[in-house]
Structure 1
């Protein structure tokens, strides 16, 4: 009904008015709310342990299962978004999210709450690629930086703000309030979206390859699960699960290469033939690892070493998250005007400097220094993410947008899991070694955190290197000239 006429009018309108298309504003708002829930449980774990009589390891599953589900479901969304209309995809995503949120608010037991989180994550997994794919279809190239800047708010700021928001909400009631507050907001956004949202682009029917579905879910889900097991110290079991996950991913890749010859892959890996997209993918993955690693370590340091409350911790990291959000649109406009390199290189250097600063944490480091380092990290990430997303997705032909955004979103989840597992494993191993040598618990943990931050700082050097490899703009690579060959 809407498809034949919608795509073409949207482009000139955006170019003339300089305003973000209504469809993107709706999807950004919805995406912000659903992604916020990925990290909103972090501060609630002590309450859940007490209320549901569970261990800390069990409680961590509420965050792990969310990431696990996202990693397993997102690879399927490339196929799903090509097959259904924008409205259908939006209805599916928000419907699942609302169902999961309502179930979580009323959950009588941990098992029901865990199931609710899995349902929530299934909706979130559809929402992220839907936003990116729609943006690339309706926003003209010269406006993408500015619009992608607004999108950064949802993709990057929401997980950064989750612990701060939950810290505030938990001051007023039990953990159920986290879901009770989100539910009416999500319902209102869903209603508003269905009232105004129109279909973008055209759907195309295709069969689904169930071997691809199973190997994608087992591979990416197994990889995230295996990495999460490192946190508990089950190194042997964790390594075996990671190896099994990698094997399943290898089978998945071989299967996709076979299906590409027939033109029916579940996840089209021809996106990786575009050098700029692949470099952007690597850079985003490493940057996400650094962000999630610091997001785990900093609250642990503030609450376990400096004995701050969840609210105080949330308030201390809030300025950095807000700075990241407010800078998103500004970074986007600068990108449209000057290209990506003038933003990405300083941003990458800022990330490394911030992580290097965190390696100097002590029992008495002033809180203003911690706040400043966190803000520098968030500003560096803000300067990096928007141009990287825009250049990376802009380097692939339109026929591959849904697949490119699905790969991007999948790797975000895997990177988050790697970052979390890496910092917790390094911190725990170092602290255990020092404790066995007679060092006190607090000092051993502090030294373990320092070592974890050092590894994060070293990894972030890769962000600087990849930043230097990226062009100023996607179209400067000339990759679209290869479109017929790659999109065939």
Structure 2
């Protein structure tokens, strides 16, 4: 393993990157609670409104793979300031929207900024902190990655109930301004500028591949897989991704070095992150539907009921990060997935139209204790197996798949939810709407539970990428530095 890059204030740099990424990831789910209000205001249907989330994920999925190339062409400071500024412009554009296309454009612009910041955050953190101190920092970063999208419905529910949905973007804009001003004073340049040849074919294949895949999966929530609008982009996406992978492996200077997946623990850690993000975003879209549509809570009340689970993540992430440096990833990831499986079985047991709210709150808390113990250790252990020269490639690959996971989770959860509703109504024609919604959400949790069990099986194969002993790590770093 290689030694860290020395900067004036690594903690301040990490803070800027994490705050910027937090607001961006918060934006993934922030409008879930506001879709009904936006539909009424702009006189659009649910299918159209859903593109406010789908378009955001689609933009991230297209842009994040290109970030590995951007980090080799632009300085760290340029990318951070640029990403924050673009995000700010997107938030302002969305806040002042006069119609749906203007709001959609603002969301896409904000997603572009987030797509720049996310990979930079992970890559820079790996560079500026030594291996034996990464656990705590990655724990806080794990808090950002998991809490931001999960907290979106909670915070936006409170904002919508007290003001209007536009204030979601006004608040985001204020935070972006403050972070940008702070970034000018603390961000140092740490990435190596090599300016490799820009391969337009790789960019085109990446865009068509990830864009087509995310578009198809997102459209699957509203259309059958046999519909041309689904299977044509899906086929194009799969073919383009295969071609993209083959091209990267054959190039001397690939846009994204896919050889990072030859490291077993990186591949396994990325898979576990994929499954965890899928579970988080599936739950983030299903529980608000259930709490508002089946249990008849207001947006604010529904958001507040999800807050204890997020609070557990907030409290435990730094603790897990600190202990990770001492005990490694295996214990945390296995225990975490055991809790995730228990939580999902709990949801399957209690979900109904008359379930006491406290049972949902407790199950959600258990779920997020498990996710907290899973995401950061998996991500840190995966990145620890990489060498400094491929941090940018590993970061781009992992973050891209996280966005695909978000699209998969959202699309499949809504699709299975709809199938569950139709199945319930076929056997209960006189069923009330709350019962129908509860049945649909419960049906979708069979899918999430299956994913959780698969994650638990994967967790059993995790081993540490490094010896967690600080003394031994320091010896390794000294030898690398001397070399």
What's the TM-score, normalizing by structure 2? 0.92
**2:25 counterpart of 1:35:** yes
1:157-178 C-alpha deviation (Å, 9 max, x unpaired): 1111111111111123222111
| Counterpart position of 2:348 | 359
User: Is 1:399 equivalent to 2:389 in the alignment?
Assistant: yes
| Among candidates 255, 261, 270, match of residue 281 of structure 1 | 270
Per-residue deviation, 1:287: 1.7
Residue from 430, 434, 438 that aligns with 2:420: 430
Residue of 166, 180, 183 corresponding to 2:173: 183
SS of 2:455's equivalent in the other structure is helix
CA distance in 1, matches of 2:318, 2:226: 45
Q: Which residue of 2 aligns with 1:335?
A: 324
1:302 to partner: Cα distance: 0.7
Q: 1:347·1:381 contact (CA, 8 Å) conserved in 2?
A: yes
Map of 1:445 onto structure 2: 437
Counterpart CA distance in 2 for 1:162 and 1:57 is 20
Q: What secondary structure sits across from 2:460 in the alignment?
A: helix
Instruction: Determine the C-alpha separation between the residues in 2 that align with 1:397 and 1:473.
Output: 12
Structure 2 partner of 1:68:
58
Tell whether 2:6 aligns with 1:9.
yes
CA contact (8 A) 2:5 2:190 kept: no
For residues 178 and 416 of structure 1, the distance between their equivalents in structure 2, rounded to whole angstroms, comes to 21
Deviations 1:11-43 (A, max 9, x none): xx99xxxxx622112211221122211111111
Tell me the SS of whatever aligns to 1:171: helix
Is the 1:395–1:475 Cα contact (8 Å) retained in structure 2? no
Q: Is the 1:81–1:402 Cα contact (8 Å) retained in structure 2?
A: yes
Pick from 322, 326, 331: which aligns with 2:315?
326
Provide the aligned C-alpha RMSD in A. Answer: 1.8
Measured in 2, the distance between the counterparts of 1:325 and 1:78 equals: 30
Q: In the alignment, is residue 239 of structure 1 matched against residue 231 of structure 2?
A: yes
Deviations 1:295-335 (A, max 9, x none): 11111111111111111110000111121122111100010
- d(CA) in 2 for partners of 1:30, 1:301: 30
**Deviation of 1:475 (Å):** 5.1
Alpha-carbon offset, residue 281 of structure 1: 1.1
Q: Secondary structure at the match of 2:150?
A: helix
How far the C-alpha of 1:291 sits from its partner, in A, is: 1.6
In the alignment, the residues of structure 1 paired with residue 6 and residue 213 of structure 2 have an alpha-carbon distance, to the nearest angstrom, of: 43
1:290 & 1:185 partners in 2: Cα distance?
28
Q: 1:426 to 1:87 in 2, by over 3 A?
A: same
Matched, 1:136 2:133: no
Aligned to 1:208: 198
1:7, CA displacement in angstroms? 5.7
Local SS of the residue matching 1:41? coil
Unaligned runs of at least 5 residues, structure 2: 469-475, 477-483
Matched pairs, number:
463
The answer (yes or no) to whether the contact 2:29–2:284 under 8 Å persists in 1 is no
- Displacement, 1:82? 2.0
TM superposition score normalised by structure 1: 0.91
The answer to whether the 8 Å contact 2:87/2:109 transfers is: yes
Which range moved further: 393-402 or 192-201? 192-201
Maintained 8 Å contact 1:82/1:204: yes
